[in-house]
Amino acid sequence: MGDSSVAGALVPSVPKPEPAPSGDASTAAAAAALALAEEAGARAGSASPQGAAAEGEGPADRDLLCPICMAVIKDAFLTACGHSFCYMCIVTHLNHKSDCPCCGHYLTKAQLYPNFLLDKVLKKISARQIAKTASPIDQVRYALQQGNEMGVKELDSLMTLISEKKRQMEQQESETNMQILLVFLHCLRKQKLEELNEIQTDLQYIKEDISAVERHRIELYRTKERYSMKLRMLLDDPASQKMWPSPIDKASSLYLPNSRTPLSASSPGSLQNKKLDLKAQVSNQGFQWRDALTSSDPPNSPIQSGNVIARKRRVQAQFNELQEYYLQRRRTGAQPRRQEERDIVAMNREGYHAGLQDFQSVLTTFTRYSRLRVIAELRHGDLFHSANIVSSIEFDRDDELFATAGVSKRIKVFEFSSVVNEPSDVHCPVVEMATRSKLSCLSWNKYSKNVIASSDYEGIVTVWDVQTGQSVMEYEEHEKRAWSVDFSRTEPSMLVSGSDDCKVKVWCTKQEASVINIDMKANICSVKYNPGSSFYVAVGSADHHIHYFDLRNPSAPVHIFGGHKKAVSYVKFLSNNELASASTDSTLRLWDVKDNCPVRTFRGHKNEKNFVGLSVNNEYIACGSETNEVFVYHKAISKPAASHRFVSSDVDDADDDPSSYFISAVCWKSDSPTMLTANSQGTIKVLVLAP
């Protein structure tokens, strides 16, 4: 065993020797190698198998590492000072320095000697570790690589075992593959059966709906026939003819005033001929009138047929969307009916199913319109203000007035009927109110016709009296630009605002300070009261989410709607349960605030950086685009139903790139296909949905 006082397991540290004569170098190297071998052999024999197998544990394992690369020594070479290194490691070191890495003794390549004994010990230790940790295949491979002698019979037996093992493994692999394939086929069969059941159920729904529609058509046809029969009876009944003006009397009255010539002046033959012509004319007119009343085809059937063809084309263009909506409504509406009694089901079959009625309403409204038609246009700018961007445009309570606001620091109120009925390039506002800062949003009070609120770039929320043109209240608690303001529909004295200071504030027109303050983590772009409650408020934020608050507990939102990829610029309620949102990710989204789930995503417009406006009514959603276009979506269809591009009529602006302008505000007229739109040039158009 080696002396315990030496440092190192394999190579003891020795004092720096005196320079020896060149003739004694080989002798010193041999002596050092012998000492190394004895020490390595002793340590290898005394080391436990666990210590040898666990790499990096115990001093024996650490002493087998090269001091330079700290890995197990490979191709061990011994220096004259008694240290062992990997050959490549020590040679690379000596290319740069001429000393020993361990003790600093002067060293050259000529003073390096192979350490065969250490290599042998390392190989034995490696073989012992492989025998303990390696797989049988690795052991056989290692034995063959070491050149162990093996007889032919032993090789044959080994090959037989290997072949048998191979066949067994191939069989197991085949069984596993077949099992996986069988599982896949069962899953596929289950999925297709579910799809088949779903298709069969859908076909049953379609069959029931076809029968219901055919019955309804027959009833309509019979009703029309009964009406036509009554008209024929009225026309053929002499008593009824006295009640109705006679065509002959009408014709006679038309003829007699024009015949101012005395009867004696006319020959009997000519008078008789005129009477015969008159009777024939009246008879012909009577038959035409009767045919028009009793005909099954309307008089303007060519126009109607063209309209029907156009509506059929719209159905074909959006067939997939309509199909998806029909099946969705039909399946959703059919589930509760399955739990009812058979007599109730039979009674319901006499009429339309609720899902079919809903789809028919959507189909009717969607195919009714295909374009936007301009019915009026005016310029918002004036000679004294070059800034023309209209940030907000809103109708009043009765849809008689509309107000506009923007960067011109003015609120202008126009009379809608005069704008539509009086053609003029420039319409004068009935009221104009000057502000201190650029305006971002307007909101009319839903109860008081003369009250309107505004928010501006300085964070001031102002309540105005439109009749006097003066401000009633000014709220200055916001620290940054206020983007949005909205009056409550159910509580006329309450309004809410949102700002870049990440705060939502609720105000009361009877108080000078805010009533509720909600701190959020991102900029507020839009706020909107639920039309059916003064407690619920939707907040569109720059954090890509819509936060839905109950103001009775404003500490945390009731729900957070996520799905947009960029800031939410607008939120609007279609109904008490339907919420629409717009974002600078070029999408609109429809949400169900009752079930807290997304309903539909609308794509087709472009909106990446600007506020382009959003407005809703019961069926349609309108928004602007950064392509200077207005887009209209039906709430059941994700693709645009109609669009209109603003084209500049000014000579100076005709050569400008249309993409440099954008739609900045839109507003529907209540329960009407008419809407107001404005763009960044200050052009305001009145558009109406048209077939």
Would residue 425 count as lying in a domain? Answer: yes
Cβ neighbors of 160 (< 8 A, separation 6 or more) are: none
Q: Are residues 459 and 570 in the same domain?
A: yes
Would residue 172 count as lying in a domain? Answer: yes
Q: Are residues 464 and 324 in the same domain?
A: no
Cross-strand bridge partners of residue 554? none
The tally of domains found in the chain comes to: 3
Would residue 450 count as lying in a domain? Answer: yes
- Domain range for residue 142? 76-146
Token readout for 672 is: 């009407």
Residue 353 contacts residue 209 (beta carbons within 8 Å): yes
Q: Are residues 480 and 584 in the same domain?
A: yes
Would residue 159 count as lying in a domain? Answer: yes
pTM higher than 0.85: no
Q: Are residues 476 and 494 in the same domain?
A: yes
pLDDT mean values, one per 10 residues, the chain (691 residues):
38 40 42 44 41 42 84 89 91 91 90 89 80 72 70 83 90 94 95 94 91 88 86 73 50 40 42 46 44 42 68 88 88 52 42 81 87 88 64 94 92 92 80 93 93 95 94 94 96 95 95 94 96 95 96 94 96 95 96 94 94 93 95 94 81 56 93 92 92 87
Residue 361 contacts residue 393 (beta carbons within 8 Å): no
Q: Are residues 398 and 429 in the same domain?
A: yes
Q: Are residues 207 and 313 in the same domain?
A: yes
Q: Are residues 465 and 409 in the same domain?
A: yes
Query: What pLDDT shows up at residue 285?
Result: 44
DSSP string, 576-635: SSEEEEEETTTEEEEEETTTTEEEEEEESS--SSS---EEE-SSEEEEE-TTSEEEEEET
Q: Are residues 112 and 171 in the same domain?
A: no
Query: What pLDDT shows up at residue 479?
Result: 94
Q: Are residues 537 and 577 in the same domain?
A: yes
Q: Are residues 595 and 511 in the same domain?
A: yes
Q: Are residues 98 and 156 in the same domain?
A: no
Q: Are residues 452 and 499 in the same domain?
A: yes
Q: Name the helix (H) or strand (E) containing 497.
A: strand 494-499
CATH number of the domain where residue 87 is located: 3.30.40.10
Query: What pLDDT shows up at residue 354?
Result: 82
Query: What pLDDT shows up at residue 265?
Result: 40
Q: What is the CA radius of gyration of the chain?
A: 47
Residue 687 contacts residue 374 (beta carbons within 8 Å): yes
Query: What pLDDT shows up at residue 60?
Result: 52
